[in-house]
């Protein structure tokens, strides 16, 4: 599904995809697909972090 969204975005002229996820979800899922972390919000309790990721299309 992500690959199709990226393909469609590129077809429509998009140059960047971005998303966010939390440490208890799976930031590595996106990293394995070529996304890189560009910001981290670590102001949540219990060591929870929010990751902001981007990928050039």
Where the chain has pLDDT below 70, the residues are none
* Straight-line distance from the first to the last Cα atom of the chain, in angstroms, rounded to the nearest whole number: 15
The domain containing residue 50 runs over which residues? 2-56
List, for residues 14-30, the tens digit of each pLDDT value: 999 999 999 999 899 99
Query: How many domains, in total, are found in the chain?
Result: 1
CATH of the domain at 9: 3.40.630.30
pLDDT at 49: 97
Residue 36: left (phi > 0), alpha (psi -120 to 50), or beta?
A: beta
pLDDT at 30: 96
């Amino acid at each position: 599904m992500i690959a199709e969204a990226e393909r469609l975005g590129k077809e429509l002229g998009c140059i960047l995809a971005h998303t966010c996820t939390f440490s208890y979800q799976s930031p590595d899922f996106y990293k394995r697909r070529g996304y890189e972390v560009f910001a981290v919000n670590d102001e949540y309790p219990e060591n929870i972090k929010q990751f902001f990721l981007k990928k050039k299309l």
